[in-house]
Structure 1
Amino acid sequence: MVLNLMWDLVTFQPRNDLQDTYKWNGNSTGKFCIRSVWHQLRPTNPKVAGASLLWHAWHIPRFSFILWLAARGRLRTMDKLHGNSHRVCVLCNGHDENHDHLFFGCSFSSSIWLDISSRAQIVWNAGNWSQAWQDIAIRCSNKNNPRHRLVGLALASSIYHIWKERNKRIFDQHFSNAQKIRDDIVNSVCGKLGGLGVGDMVPSSFLQRWTN
């Protein structure tokens, strides 16, 4: 009785003229592959905000790494060093050093941002580093967009060279002015864009803006 009821629920008839086949549900094509198994096994995490600014076809690995640390607030700024009595920013000597100050509020850094933001056409809508990062991460979230790639490259280069100058002042007692840092950032961006070539579809307007 039960089997008869179950059979009545079957809405299709078997095809005796066709052979049985296997279908792998882990792949949209129905075919098995090692890559699909890996995606089935590994945990899926939500996309990190700003990933498109960090890792894209034009990125410079060491620059992106420093930007990644800065975005997470994980750089060893003065406020994170336990027992450190000297917390004054070595770039401006006018404020305690932390991520928000060092990369956005510092007068030395601000003078650099003014020039770099103009070249990269970045408009900041926030008053501190953490808010600015969240804002730009949302507005430039397409890593395939050349405009967004340029923003990511310019941002990473700026953070890298500001952090490098900070460390040189602390550990090497070597001081460079803001113009030297701006030149280093521009040269880094120009070097990367110039090396990509026409095959990578670098708009000529990008190069003109950074070389003028």
Structure 2
Amino acid sequence: MIENHQMEVNHHAPDVVMWRKNETEYCRQFFTAETWQRIRIHGGLKEWSEVVWFQLGVPRFAFITWLAIRNRLSTGERTGAWGQPQGCLFCGEPNETRDHLFFACPYTYTLWLEVVGTLLGRPPDPDWESTLELLTTHSYGRLEYLLVRLVFQTAIYIIWRERNDRKHLKKPKLPSQLARIVDKTVRNRITSTGYATKPRLRGLMQVWFLAHT
């Protein structure tokens, strides 16, 4: 019974609201980050986490990449389970899967070949699992690793956007047109970092150009 666990009351101290900080500490300030860490379900760190979340990343690109890695994009394979099957809008493959879109489809593989250049350190593989394994296990230089993750996310985002544009009957683009959009997007992101004045990023644009010459 609650009556059996009476607390001592200090009638000379004012009442204050205290937020629980951890198992033993309370404080007067509320911290959203610490509260979230307390209430969320903690899972193990995924091998691919650095491919999705990194300093140079673009949040909306990272989110779509995260959905792709988790296979949660509404591809034809997934919508087929809801009674809305759809083939690949790029090449006509009857079963539009995540692995097909990134980058087994001839259209998207052509784009991937052009935009990734030599950043992977080896010829690009159209297989999704092989590409993701390479990004998580291969040893890259610091600048190369920043760029290969950025172009990977940008390519996924642009491909997904083009796929949805086609689904809504917008004028389709050639792989070379999408490649120019990816290239411009990456270069704009590099420029926005002020890389020339930051020792850890100096040479970033040069590495990008060298990988595409």
Same fold (TM over 0.5): yes
Q: Quote the RMSD (CA, aligned, Å).
A: 3.2
Q: TM-score, normalized by length of structure 2?
A: 0.71
The residue that corresponds to 2:193 in the other structure is 196
Taking a change above 3 Å as real, the CA distance of residues 122 and 175 of structure 1, as seen in their structure-2 partners, is: farther
The residue that corresponds to 2:90 in the other structure is 91
User: The residue matched to 2:117 in structure 1 has which SS?
Assistant: helix
Taking a change above 3 Å as real, the CA distance of residues 39 and 92 of structure 1, as seen in their structure-2 partners, is: closer
Task: Give CA-to-partner distance per residue, 1:14-56, whole Å, 9 cap, x none.
Answer: xxxxxxxxxxxx9xxxxx9999x87995765321121112111
Report whether the alignment pairs 1:150 with 2:139: no
Aligned counterparts of 2:197 and 2:157: Cα–Cα separation in 1? 27
Task: Give CA-to-partner distance per residue, 1:112-157, whole Å, 9 cap, x none.
Answer: 1111221534536755213421332222699xx3321111101000
The residue that corresponds to 2:45 in the other structure is 47
The residue that corresponds to 1:209 in the other structure is 210
Cα contact 1:69–1:75 (8 A) shared by 2: yes
Aligned counterparts of 2:122 and 2:212: Cα–Cα separation in 1? 20
Aligned counterparts of 2:129 and 2:56: Cα–Cα separation in 1? 24
Cα contact 1:53–1:152 (8 A) shared by 2: yes
Once the two structures are overlaid, the 10-residue window that deviates more, 146-155 or 66-75, is 146-155
Q: TM-score, normalized by length of structure 1?
A: 0.71
Greater Rg by CA = 1
Report whether the alignment pairs 1:176 with 2:177: no
Aligned counterparts of 1:90 and 1:117: Cα–Cα separation in 2? 22
Letter in 1 for 2:92: N
Q: 1:1-212 to 2 correspondence within 5 Å?
A: 44-81=42-79, 82-85=82-85, 87-123=86-122, 128-139=127-138, 145-197=142-194, 198-200=196-198, 201-204=200-203, 205-209=206-210
Identity of aligned residues (%): 23
The residue that corresponds to 2:13 in the other structure is none
Task: Give CA-to-partner distance per residue, 1:74-121, whole Å, 9 cap, x none.
Answer: 100001112124x22001113421011111110000101111221534
In the alignment of these two chains, the number of paired residues is: 180
Taking a change above 3 Å as real, the CA distance of residues 134 and 211 of structure 1, as seen in their structure-2 partners, is: closer
Aligned counterparts of 1:211 and 1:138: Cα–Cα separation in 2? 23
Cα contact 2:102–2:126 (8 A) shared by 1: no
Taking a change above 3 Å as real, the CA distance of residues 136 and 124 of structure 1, as seen in their structure-2 partners, is: farther
Higher relative helix content? 1
Taking a change above 3 Å as real, the CA distance of residues 69 and 141 of structure 1, as seen in their structure-2 partners, is: farther
Letter in 2 for 1:154: V
Aligned counterparts of 2:100 and 2:37: Cα–Cα separation in 1? 43
Which stretches of structure 1, 4 residues or longer, exceed 4 Å deviation after superposition?
32-35, 37-44, 124-127
Q: Which runs of 5+ in 2 are unaligned?
A: 1-21
Cα contact 2:143–2:207 (8 A) shared by 1: no
Cα contact 1:120–1:154 (8 A) shared by 2: no
Cα contact 2:65–2:156 (8 A) shared by 1: yes
Aligned counterparts of 2:89 and 2:151: Cα–Cα separation in 1? 23
Aligned counterparts of 1:94 and 1:209: Cα–Cα separation in 2? 35
Aligned counterparts of 1:210 and 1:189: Cα–Cα separation in 2? 13
Aligned counterparts of 2:91 and 2:37: Cα–Cα separation in 1? 51
